[in-house]
């Protein structure tokens, strides 16, 4: 009897210790530490890919690039400089979140990873600041706290190519270009808040990249003004090739470590992950808040592996744009995306490339498959078949929306996703009611 009593007591002690460990992992400080650890890993790894003088040379080219879609910073500079640029912007984004006294929620983590993803092909340490400044001035004009709009500050940098294009690619003197470009940037940041709030109702939360749709509208207006003055934005396709092995290993290390870390702090199990899979993902869904950070990390890692495998399976190239798409999917593993609702959309895009004119492994088609998962809530809410339809339609639309904003909106898939969601969802609801 004594032996049995000791065994139960030991089990209780173990359970208490595990519960305390789990609770410690779920606190705010730990989330900051984990996010900063991954950013630090990326920052250090940039010097593994290239020497410091090569990174400096690459950063110079990145900053001076017009940066419109699709400009791969790994091709403009090199792998090290692109990852360095990405990690620096993620680090600064995290600092802004911290200084604004914002919580490290699922949407905030998604915003940080999205900034990092697009800092591989469009955002850089020069072209994001005036947009953030414009939003800050908006909060001052409204006498509101900046942290209330922290998500718009992170995602709103979708229009950063406007600043680079005007500064370096319109034939203006450098001083005039800088002044005019940043006035545009401040104006963009100032109007993003009211527009983003209004357009969220347009797609009813079924397009996770709401700022992408907003930026598409604003970018179209900006491009129309520039075209009115005789300036045009030619389509660009600058991408790196031949890095599948090294970047595949690199991404594998990142995502497997997320799964292992989440697994260990979830009592060495995947228990509870089905709760994430049962969620539609419709905005706004915070998996960290509803399911905990450990399970969310598992979800992020699994999504990263699936996205990477997709690119490799269709014989695509791992480079700045595709790696940016993968990191964005991983970020939204905290905020609306999971294995069950992204795969149908990716299948829909794949089917579209088999039937339509675009090659499955072309850069545009790969980005449609990765970023098209902005429509994942449709699959989550209405089933995988409707997710496939959404992915198919998205492919056709996204290939034609870039001209409207001249590549100024980095979240082109978010622009297209808003159009698809606003069109498809009412039709699905109507048919459901009839049945």
Q: Among positive and negative, which fits the CA dihedral 398, 401, 407, 413?
A: negative
Given this model, what pLDDT does residue 434 score? 61
User: How many Å apart are CA 258 and CA 409, to the nearest integer?
Assistant: 30
Query: Residue 73: what pLDDT?
Result: 98
How far apart are alpha carbons 174 and 432 in whole angstroms?
57
Q: What is the pTM of this model?
A: 0.92
Would the CA dihedral through 413, 418, 419, 422 be positive or negative? positive
pLDDT at 2: 41
| Alpha helices (runs of H) in 278-411, residue ranges in sequence order | 287-291, 293-313, 320-331, 339-355, 363-371, 376-382, 384-405
- Which of the 8 DSSP states describes residue 236? -
Contact present, 417 and 213 (Cβ < 8 Å)? yes
Q: For residue 261, with 0-12 CB atoms within 10 Å meaning exposed, 13-18 middle and 19 or more buried, which class applies? A: buried
**In 46-173, at which residue ranges do the beta strands (DSSP E only) sit?**
none
pLDDT of residue 432: 78
Residues in the chain: 435
- How many C-beta atoms lie closer than 10 Å to residue 351's C-beta? 16
Check if the beta carbon of residue 247 is closer than 8 Å to that of residue 309: no
> What is the Cα–Cα distance from 124 to 62, expressed in whole angstroms?
7
- 384 Cβ neighbours under 8 A, 6+ residues apart: 340, 343, 344
How far is the C-alpha of 349 from the C-alpha of 365, rounded, in Å? 8
Question: How does pLDDT run across 203-212, given as a tens digit for each residue?
Answer: 888 999 989 9
CA angle 245, 249, 251 (to 5 degrees): 115
pLDDT value of position 197: 82
pLDDT of res. 235: 78
Spell out the domain ranges in the chain.
23-228
Distance, CA of 214 to CA of 211 (rounded, Å): 5
DSSP 8-state code for residue 51: -
Radius of gyration of the chain (CA): 22
- d(CA 411, CA 209) in angstroms, rounded, equals 8
pLDDT of residue 153: 93
The helix/strand/coil state of 159 is helix
Question: Tokens 């595949």 appear where?
Answer: 248
Q: How far apart are CA 131 and CA 63, in angstroms?
A: 16
Q: In the beta sheet, which residues pair with residue 238?
A: 71
- Residues of the chain where predicted confidence (pLDDT) is lower than 70: 1-25, 434-435
Consecutive H or E run containing 263: helix 244-265
Cβ atoms 330, 112 nearer than 8 A: no
Q: Which two tokens stand for residue 122?
A: 């469009």
Unique residue bearing structure tokens 């934005």:
233
Give the span between the Cα atoms of 25 and 14, in whole angstroms: 17
Which residues, 6 or more positions from 93, have their beta carbon under 8 angstroms from its beta carbon? 111, 112, 115, 116, 154
Q: How far apart are the first and last CA of the chain?
A: 63
- The phi, psi pair for 71, rounded to 5°, reads -115, 105
């Amino acid at each position: 009897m004594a032996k049995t009593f000791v065994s139960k007591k030991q089990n209780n002690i173990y359970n208490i210790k595990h519960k305390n460990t789990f609770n410690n992992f779920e606190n705010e400080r730990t989330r900051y530490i984990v996010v900063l650890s991954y950013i630090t890993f990326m920052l250090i790894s940039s010097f593994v890919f290239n020497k410091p003088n090569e990174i400096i040379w690459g950063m110079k080219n990145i900053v001076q690039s017009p940066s419109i879609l699709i400009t791969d910073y790994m091709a403009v500079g090199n792998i090290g400089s692109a990852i360095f640029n990405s990690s620096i912007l993620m680090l600064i984004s995290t600092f802004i979140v911290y200084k604004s006294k914002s919580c490290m929620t699922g949407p905030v983590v998604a915003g940080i990873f999205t900034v990092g993803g697009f800092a591989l092909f469009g955002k850089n340490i020069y072209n994001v600041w005036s947009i953030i400044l414009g939003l800050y001035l908006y909060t001052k004009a409204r006498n509101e706290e900046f942290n209330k709009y922290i998500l718009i500050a992170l995602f709103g940098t979708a229009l950063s190519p406007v600043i680079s294009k005007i500064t370096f690619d319109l034939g203006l003197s450098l001083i005039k270009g800088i002044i005019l470009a940043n006035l545009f940037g401040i104006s963009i940041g100032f109007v993003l808040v009211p527009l983003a709030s209004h357009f969220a109702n347009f797609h009813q939360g079924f397009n996770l990249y709401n700022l992408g749709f907003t930026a598409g509208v604003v970018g179209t207006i900006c491009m129309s003004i520039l075209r009115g003055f005789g300036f045009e934005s030619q389509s660009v396709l600058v991408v790196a090739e031949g890095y599948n092995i090294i970047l595949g290993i690199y991404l594998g290390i990142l995502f497997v470590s997320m799964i292992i870390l989440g697994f260990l702090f979830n009592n060495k199990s995947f228990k509870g992950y089905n709760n994430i899979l049962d969620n539609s993902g419709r905005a706004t869904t915070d998996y960290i808040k509803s399911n905990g950070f450990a399970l969310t990390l598992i979800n992020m890692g699994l999504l990263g592996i699936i996205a990477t495998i997709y690119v490799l399976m269709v014989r695509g190239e791992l480079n700045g744009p595709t790696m940016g798409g993968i990191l964005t999917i991983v970020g939204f593993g905290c905020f609306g995306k999971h294995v069950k609702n992204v795969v149908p959309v990716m299948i829909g895009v794949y089917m579209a490339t088999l039937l339509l004119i675009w090659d499955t492994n072309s850069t545009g088609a790969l980005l449609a498959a990765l970023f098209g998962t902005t429509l994942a809530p449709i699959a989550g809410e209405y089933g995988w078949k409707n997710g496939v339809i959404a992915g198919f339609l998205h492919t056709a639309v996204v290939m034609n929306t870039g001209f409207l904003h001249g590549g100024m909106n980095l979240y082109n898939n978010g622009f297209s996703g808003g159009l698809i969601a606003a069109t498809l969802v009412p039709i699905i609801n109507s048919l459901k009611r009839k049945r």
